[in-house]
């Protein structure tokens, strides 16, 4: 047995002249056949099961995350009145204006707190229950939250509303931490960028859907606001019905659970078509390489202590946190007032806000195509660099908007341009870049830390932006511009190109921390 393992290792890792193990090479094929294999692996290998998982996971898990973010703003005044009346009926007390604002801040912020907690627990859940198991857990949490939302009005319970927001926050944090990892791990090499962007696309679409269903013309009324909060349950129910048929991540089974037979079985279910054998062999070679090259590190403490993970962790956390600190939430939370300052009437400003949301969603739908065709580094550099310029221009134009007649048009154009360039790179790439920088074992910790950074920064912007806007006025957009410039520098100097490269190839490029030289 030992002799057999030795021969296998020598075949997989040919030694150099000094007796050290070399780079892993596939075990099948001549030079010509390897070239053919490379060409096959670069072509998208679609199957009916992959299409089903991509569709169901996006609409059943990612869209509800965005829905719960976008649905809460429009009916805010109606829900505040209901909260005050309910507390008076149950406890005989009326809240002051400041008390109502404090309660509403709790309703909004407890979702973000739940998101942070869910993200922090995502790594443990992903390794203990599996990627698919964590996906199913988030669906269960979304269902519980929807039930609480639907019955809180009939039960006259503000506590149920708060608990529902906390639970859907936990589900959202778990989703953003685990779903991109699950999708990229089941996807063949050529489809990893396409599948990695689906979570971002779903969240973006969910925000728009939540805004639409919370309008006063739909469910945003005194009688039906609880329908608006819980309506996403239809998507969850429909999209989770076939989830029993979904495969577990083969990489998780092979590397974390050491269950090679089940991993191969799941690969055979995922990969179909005339080239399925070649794709399966490549995936097994890739997983075998990771198993044999190093001791697998998967706990929080071991990952955080390992110096080879320092730079990729900083990249993942900076990208996800910087995504929130780049000003996108501030633009959408306060875009109506910004458009009004630009000279539009309230009605026109609301229509312009809807147009901005539709633009954001339309560009998001281009994400799968862009990520399958374009390299990550140049796209991220263009996105962050142009966004920095637009944010600086928005601050300058808003400050001097009353001095020049055509400045309002420039302001609106800059907002639309910022949204467009944000969504081609800064929007989608942070969601899945961790899956391309980290190998399977430490990946769950990295994705969890990145998701935690995103939720904490989202909470910070939501809490701090109104006060900073009152204090700084138009110049509140300058820190967002600086954030984009810092992300541009981080990308230029330290992010290696990850498209169509296995994480085992990328990881050594960033293993030396800030002394690493990307290529």
Mean local confidence (pLDDT), 201-222: 86
How much is the CA Rg of the chain, to the nearest whole Å? 24
Token pair in block for residue 244? 């029993």
Token pair in block for residue 511? 């293993």
Q: What is the structure's pLDDT at 7?
A: 41
User: Is the pTM higher than 0.85?
Assistant: no
d(CA 467, CA 471): 6
Greater pLDDT, 293 or 365: 365
In this structure, which topology does domain 46-246 adopt according to CATH? Growth Hormone; Chain: A; (1.20.1250)
Confidence of residue 420 (pLDDT cuts 50, 70, 90): very high
Q: What are the CA-CA distances from residue 475 to residues 236, 395, 462, 464, 479 (Å)?
A: 41, 5, 17, 14, 8
* Number of neighbours of residue 466 by Cβ within 10 angstroms: 13
pLDDT tens digits along 448-499 = 899 999 999 988 887 777 778 778 888 888 999 999 999 999 999 999 998 8
d(CA 297, CA 518): 23
Q: What is the structure's pLDDT at 152?
A: 94
Residue 264 half-sphere exposure toward CB, CA atoms < 13 A: 9
Token pair in block for residue 464? 């701090």
CATH of the structural domain 296-519, one choice from 3.60.15.10, 1.10.260.30, 1.20.1250.20, 3.50.50.60 = 1.20.1250.20
Q: What is the structure's pLDDT at 35?
A: 59
Least confident of 37-41, 80-84, 367-371, 386-390: 37-41
Q: If DSSP codes are grouped into helix, strand and coil, which group holds residue 501? A: coil
Q: If DSSP codes are grouped into helix, strand and coil, which group holds residue 439? A: coil
- 233-239-240-241 Cα dihedral, nearest 10 degrees: 110
DSSP-assigned letters across all residues of 87-152 = HHHHHS----HHHHHHHHHHHHHHHHHHHHHHHHHHHHHHHHTHHHHHHHHHHHHHHHHHHHHHHH
* Number of neighbours of residue 348 by Cβ within 10 angstroms: 14
pLDDT of residue 390 exceeding 90, the answer is: yes
Q: List, by residue range, all CATH 1.20.1250.20 domains of the chain.
A: 46-246, 296-519
Q: What is the structure's pLDDT at 333?
A: 63
Judged by phi (left if over 0) then psi (alpha if -120 to 50, else beta), residue 157 lies in beta
The rounded percent of the chain whose pLDDT value lies above 90 is 34
d(CA 152, CA 73): 18
* Number of neighbours of residue 221 by Cβ within 10 angstroms: 15
pLDDT tens digits along 364-384 = 888 888 887 888 999 999 999
The 8-class DSSP code of residue 21 comes to: B
């Amino acid at each position: 047995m030992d002799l057999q393992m030795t021969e296998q290792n020598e075949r997989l890792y040919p030694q150099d002249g000094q007796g050290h193990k070399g780079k892993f090479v596939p075990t099948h094929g001549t030079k010509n056949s390897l070239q053919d294999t490379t060409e096959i692996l670069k072509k998208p290998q679609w199957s009916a099961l992959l299409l089903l998982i991509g569709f169901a996971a996006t609409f059943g898990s990612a869209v509800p995350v965005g829905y719960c973010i976008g649905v809460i703003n429009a009916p805010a005044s109606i829900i505040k009145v209901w909260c005050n009346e309910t507390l008076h009926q149950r406890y005989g007390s009326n809240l002051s204006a400041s008390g109502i604002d404090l309660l509403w801040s709790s309703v909004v912020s407890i979702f973000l707190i739940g998101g942070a907690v869910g993200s922090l627990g995502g790594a443990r859940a992903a390794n203990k229950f599996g990627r698919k198991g964590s996906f199913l857990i988030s669906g269960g949490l979304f269902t519980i939250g929807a039930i609480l939302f639907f019955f809180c009005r009939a039960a006259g319970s503000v506590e149920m509303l708060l608990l529902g927001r906390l639970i859907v926050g936990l589900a959202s944090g778990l989703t953003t931490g685990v779903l991109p990892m699950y999708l990229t791990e089941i996807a063949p090499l050529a489809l990893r960028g396409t599948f990695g962007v689906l979570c971002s696309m779903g969240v973006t679409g969910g925000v728009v859907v939540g805004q639409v269903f919370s309008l006063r013309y739909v469910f945003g009324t005194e009688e039906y606001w609880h329908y608006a909060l819980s309506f996403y349950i239809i998507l969850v129910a429909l999209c989770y019905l076939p989830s029993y048929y979904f495969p577990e991540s083969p990489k998780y089974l092979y590397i974390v659970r050491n269950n090679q037979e089940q991993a191969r079985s799941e690969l055979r279910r995922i990969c179909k078509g005339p080239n399925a054998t070649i794709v399966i062999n490549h995936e097994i070679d890739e997983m075998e390489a990771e198993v044999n090259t190093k001791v697998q590190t998967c706990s929080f403490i071991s990952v955080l202590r390992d110096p080879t993970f320092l730079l990729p962790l900083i990249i993942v956390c900076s990208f996800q946190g910087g995504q929130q600190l780049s000003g996108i939430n501030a633009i959408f939370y306060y875009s109506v007032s910004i458009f009004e300052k630009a000279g539009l009437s309230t009605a026109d400003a609301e229509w312009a806000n809807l147009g901005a949301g539709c633009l954001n969603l339309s560009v998001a739908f281009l994400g799968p195509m862009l990520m399958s065709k374009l390299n990550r580094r140049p796209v991220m550099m263009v996105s962050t660099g142009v966004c920095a310029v637009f944010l600086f221009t928005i601050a300058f134009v808003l400050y001097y908007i009353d001095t020049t007649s055509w400045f309002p048009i420039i302001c609106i154009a800059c907002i639309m341009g910022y949204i467009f360039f944000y969504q081609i790179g800064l929007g989608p790439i942070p969601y899945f870049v961790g899956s391309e920088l980290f190998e399977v074992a430490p990946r769950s910790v990295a994705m969890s830390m990145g998701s935690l950074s995103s939720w904490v920064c989202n909470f910070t912007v939501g809490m701090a932006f109104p006060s900073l806007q009152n204090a700084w006025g138009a110049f509140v957009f300058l820190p967002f511009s600086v954030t984009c410039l810092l992300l541009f520098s981080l990308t230029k100097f330290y992010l290696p190109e990850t498209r169509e490269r296995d994480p085992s190839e990328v990881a050594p490029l960033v293993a030396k921390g800030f002394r690493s030289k990307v290529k």
